[in-house]
Amino acid sequence: MGANLSTVASVLALISALAAAVAAVLRLRQRRAIATDAQRATYQVLHTAGMAAEPLRAGLDRVNAAKAVRHLRTLVGAPGLALVGADGVIALDGRGAHHNAQLAAAGERAIAQHRSAVLGESDLPCDRVDCIVRGAVVAPLTGADGASEAVLVAIADGQPAPGLVQATLETARWAAAQLALAELDSSRDRLARAEVRALRAQISPHFIYNALTAIASFVRTDPERARELILEFAEFTRYSFRAHGEFTTLAEELRSIDRYLTIERARFGDRLQVRLQIAPEVLPVSLPFLCLQPLVENAIRHGLSRKPGVGMVSIDATDAGAECHITVEDDGVGMDPATLIAGMAQAAAESDDSGQHVGLSNVDERLRSAFGDQFGLVVETALGAGMKVSMRVPKFHPGVRA
Amino acid sequence: MINAAHNPFVIPTVVLMTVATVAIGFYGLRLARTTSDFLVASRMVSPAWNAAAIGGEYLSAASFLGIAGLILKNGVDVLWYPVGFAAGYLALLLFVAAPLRRSGAFTLPDFCEMRLGSRRLRTLATVFVVFIGWLYLVPQLQGAGLTLATVTGAPYALGALLVCVVVTANVALGGMRAITFVQAFQYWLKLTALAVPAIFLVLVWNADGRPSPVDGLTFPQATVVTIEHPATLTMTDGSVLTVKAGDELTFPAGAAVPAVAGMADGLDWLLPGRGGSLFGTYSLILATFLGTMGLPHVLVRFYTNRDGAAARRTTLVVLAMVGAFYLLPTIYGALGRIYTPQLLLTGDTDAAVLLLPSAAIGTGLGGQLLAALVAAGAFAAFLSTSSGLLTSVAGVLATDVFGRGGSVHTFRLAAVAGGVIPLLLALNVASLDVSQVVGLAFAVAASSFCPLLVLGIWWRGLTAAGAVAGIVTGGGAAVAAVLVTVLGPPLSGWPAEAVAQPAAWTVPLAFTTMVLVSLATRRHLPGTVGATMLRLHAPESLHL
């Protein structure tokens, strides 16, 4: 067993030696990259600015401001630095915390007047013996529209030197640019959310028209069936027009497809056959609402309705570890892949509902926006060979839940 | 030594069972679920099926072989193993089942990301899932090697290698998916394989005049014992004999069984607290009660439930099914002392279940068929458990290590990587008891994922930093204990005990660290904690 002990010791020694080697290589590379003092200074400024940029880009709340102000003070080189908003000091780093009220007042003035100011000793009276605050530079963070939401106040331990004024103004300008970028980020997020909302699932107008004409044909001959169909249609629209939630479960989606197919069967009769092979393990998977029904509709419209005789639509869902694989396949006329690609591109460019492939590209985009770009639709087709549309759905994705 | 090598039924039965399992895996879905009826197709898995499937994956070689061996050797003290293995589902039912299902998480790393939104924590959880998976795979391969060696006389390494190759190939090629039907079938197969011979064994024991398993043990027939581990024997005439591996002892029929130093004997076997220490017992209770909720292959099955209430119902049924199963190994352990006492001398106690039918019932047709049934059940035990574990390990390796959205190819690669390492470990730890290694896997799970799940579900104050610190400290300590046990030198005194059964100190350590660090980093509470907690605890019917 002594041999075992030495084995453990040697493994541990090997691991620590490797770690030490990696650390040494990293340090050496860092050192080699910086040759002169000027380079080092540039590197340090950029590095500090980068550290400050991260919290600034997240917006000006107290936690982020406190993180940013620490690095900004290094950039300015003042004994104290405060970020002041319209309603008081947001964050302060270094000395001068007991001047909060005066700093807030100065900040408020600067925001109202949109201009920077230098405060002298007389502007900052203090009865503390050990107070080092002798002056301050107030620089507003001016946004793109000329208005400013906050000001940067650098505290000086003497009459503010021109160098400090310059540094504070430049730092304020840089920080204002970062805040503008933060604004841009958040508006981009809002835009993306609006796009997702606009991408909302829609049932096709063709289907509503076809369903109503099919039901109309039964009203005289078979009123009972017509009534049932109308009820199915009502249930289907209730699901499709529901207001809450972007996501649903595979089980729910299948139930809605069942209603949809009941109505389509009224049109096609025995010509339409359906084969299902669903692994029960994946029924709880969450997926974008109404992302399967358009594929089935597509299979019927482009596959079966242009073909004589019986047509088969198969829906398969299999369990694949952390993902679920779903395919919708028809044995219809198929199409030339080039036509399909051109049609999809056109549909994407025009975002127009009358296109033949709106269903497919809409589902594709919604899948990508929900799960990421690697989870788009895969279409396999050729003239006369039917069409198979497959998708992969991860069983868990943060933010996706029915 | 009684050997089942002459039993012509064992190999065909085992092969038939394996082929049936693999075939159901490949073709079961097509046969069972092809329909044109949407009502049938959108029917969720019922709690009873789900529970049988969980039982099928959960009842491993440790349950099937190990517990009987431990009882044979150590007596009533180790009854905490079966009790704990079953009662772990009580903790799961009370604290975790429904909220975990409502979280929508498929794996433990998913839960970390959903609850605390930290990539770093997700990575750490992945590391622990892989480690626990591997540690749990080792005893399965060990059991496979042992079973094959016992029933065919093949070398230990060959059995482990063979099963590892079969399982890895099967998982990599997609045969052993988490198919409910296959796993439920495995549960009933395992239950049958232990229950039917157990009935006959009890009848034989009754017919023999109910000999006592406590003392006065005698060899039922003339026996040649080949010693495998050095031991000190106390003969019935009081003389002490020291034997080493390779020695052969011959006992005539009816000779008294000598007492082996270090193994429970006489009243020690029957009364609690004589063999083990109090610390070890509490450790074991903590590890098994709290470890079940951290087993990766068990948790993924909860995703299949319709909602939180169904998850709870499933856990309740699992508790009943697993509890019923664990009555059986106890019978085998007790009867093993009467009919296969030579195992006490060879130290090969894990083989008790396999040898008992032919030893007690005889090598006639009936005995041979029952022995074949038990062997098939044992193979089902480690095939299903190791497939489930390997699928989980390969799944997290493929998504979190080789990159999300990976192809089938990366999953195959991950399956091979996930299968090779436990094989290497299994070949090196042949001397450990199957149940002991499983106990260590439970200890690691209890000191890493149990605090994370319990605090994550029931305490708003948990932060990502706290979770990381708790897992690293508690889980890390348990992992260190495991590595010392498996690779390190033999210890004595209290360090030996603290390392062999670490849960009693690593679990409180993990909880304390997690709470303290969370309190210290209170400012970094995820902003969405209210929404997350509501999602975990509000019933689905509210449609929030």
What pLDDT digit, counting tens, does each position of A238-293 carry? 888 876 778 889 998 999 999 999 888 888 888 888 999 888 888 999 998 888 98
Does an H or E element contain A28, and which? helix A2-33
Residue at which a domain ends, from A173, A197, A221: A197
Kindly report, residue by residue over A53-100, the tens digit of the pLDDT.
Answer: 888 888 777 788 888 888 888 888 888 898 888 888 888 888 888 888
CA distance B42 to chain A (A): 5
What confidence tier does A353 reach under pLDDT thresholds 50, 70, 90? very low
Kindly report, residue by residue over A146-193, the tens digit of the pLDDT.
Answer: 778 888 888 888 888 888 888 898 998 898 888 888 888 888 888 877
Report A:231-290 residues touching B (Cβ under 8 A): 244, 250-251, 254-255, 257-258, 261, 273-281, 283-284, 286
Identify from A15, A262, A276 which residue to disrupt to test chain B contact, counting B C-beta atoms within 10 A and taking the largest count.
Answer: A276
State the complex-level ipTM: 0.85
Q: Is residue B39 part of a domain?
A: no
What confidence tier does A1 reach under pLDDT thresholds 50, 70, 90? very low
Residue ranges of E strands in B208-297: 223-226, 231-234, 240-243, 248-251, 259-260
Domain match, A151 and A236 both: no
Characterize the bridge pairing of strands A272-278 and A311-320. Answer: parallel
What pTM was computed for the model?
A: 0.79
Domain match, A335 and A238 both: yes
Domain match, A227 and A329 both: yes
pLDDT of residue A254: 92
Distances (CA, A) of B447 to B133, B291, B451: 15, 8, 7
Percent of chain A with pLDDT over 90: 13
Q: Is residue A362 part of a domain?
A: yes
Distance of CA A397 to the CA centre of its chain: 12
Domain match, A311 and A373 both: yes
- Assign residue A49 the CATH number of its domain: 3.30.450.40
pLDDT of residue A354: 46
Report B:258-287 residues touching A (Cβ under 8 A): none
B-chain residues within 8 Å CB-CB of A280? Answer: 33, 43-45, 180, 304
Distance of CA A269 to the CA centre of its chain: 44
Separation between Cα atoms, residue A346 and residue A267, nearest integer Å: 30
Number of domains in chain B: 1
Q: Does B414 touch chain A (CB under 8 A)?
A: no
Report B:45-64 residues touching A (Cβ under 8 A): 45
Amino acid making up residue B31: L
Q: Rounded to the nearest 5°, which phi and psi values hold at A391?
A: -140, 155
Separation between Cα atoms, residue A402 and residue A380, nearest integer Å: 29
- DSSP letter string, A31-52: HHH--SHHHHHHHHHHHHHHHH
| Joined tokens for residue B28 | 């079961």
Q: Which residues pair with A380 in a beta bridge?
A: A388
A323-330 β-sheet, strand order: A378-381, A387-394, A323-330, A311-320, A272-278, B34-35
Judge: B394–A257 Cβ closer than 8 Å, yes or no: no
| Joined tokens for residue A38 | 């000027």
Which of A51-60, B192-201, B272-281, B481-490 ranks highest by mean pLDDT? Answer: B192-201
What confidence tier does B2 reach under pLDDT thresholds 50, 70, 90? very low
Tell me the mean pLDDT in the region B421-443: 81
Q: Is residue B405 part of a domain?
A: yes
Q: Angle formed by the axes of helices A223-240 and A250-268, to 10°?
A: 150
Q: Which residues pair with A326 in a beta bridge?
A: A317, A391
Which of A21-30, B336-345, B500-509 ranks highest by mean pLDDT? Answer: B500-509
Q: Is residue A20 part of a domain?
A: no
Residue A91, domain extent: 38-197
Residue at which a domain ends, from A197, A214, A238: A197
What confidence tier does B406 reach under pLDDT thresholds 50, 70, 90? low
A-chain residues within 8 Å CB-CB of B411? Answer: 321
Task: Give me chain B's average pLDDT, please.
Answer: 85
Which member of B36, B45, B395 has the closest CB to residue A280? B45
CA distance A280 to chain B (A): 6
Domain match, A191 and A207 both: no
Tell me the mean pLDDT in the region B329-342: 89
- Greater model confidence, B30 or A3: B30
| Joined tokens for residue B47 | 């709690």
Domain match, A221 and A362 both: yes
Task: Show Cβ contacts of residue B520 under 8 Å, excluding neighbours closer than 6 positions.
Answer: B466
B-chain residues within 8 Å CB-CB of A257? Answer: 38
Q: Does A58 touch chain B (CB under 8 A)?
A: no
Q: Is the pLDDT of residue B317 over 90?
A: yes
Domain match, A170 and A45 both: yes
Domain match, A263 and A351 both: yes
A135-142 β-sheet, strand order: A88-94, A80-85, A148-156, A135-142, A117-119
Does an H or E element contain A192, and which? helix A162-198
Least Cα distance to B269 among B229, B215, B339 occurs for B215
Among the listed ranges A58-67, B499-508, B515-524, which one has the minimum average pLDDT value?
A58-67
Judge: B33–A280 Cβ closer than 8 Å, yes or no: yes
Among the listed ranges A193-207, A209-223, B509-523, which one has the minimum average pLDDT value?
A193-207
Identify from B34, B43, B101, B106 which residue to disrupt to test chain A contact, counting A C-beta atoms within 10 A and taking the largest count.
Answer: B106
pLDDT of residue B276: 65
Separation between Cα atoms, residue B34 and residue B41, nearest integer Å: 8
Least Cα distance to B371 among B59, B60, B4, B67 occurs for B4
Residue B346, domain extent: 4-29+44-542
Least Cα distance to B408 among A366, A118, A390 occurs for A390
SS3 B338: helix
Q: Does B118 touch chain A (CB under 8 A)?
A: no
Altogether, the residues listed in chain A come to a count of 402
CA distance A195 to chain B (A): 23
Q: Does B314 touch chain A (CB under 8 A)?
A: no
B-chain residues within 8 Å CB-CB of A274? Answer: 36
Residue at which a domain ends, from A155, A176, A197: A197
Percent of chain B with pLDDT over 70: 94
Residue ranges of E strands in B237-309: 240-243, 248-251, 259-260
What confidence tier does A357 reach under pLDDT thresholds 50, 70, 90? low
- Assign residue B130 the CATH number of its domain: 1.20.1730.10
pLDDT of residue B235: 77
Domain match, A227 and A354 both: yes
User: Could you give the angle at the alpha carbon of A206 between the alpha carbons of A205 and A207, nearest 5°?
Assistant: 90
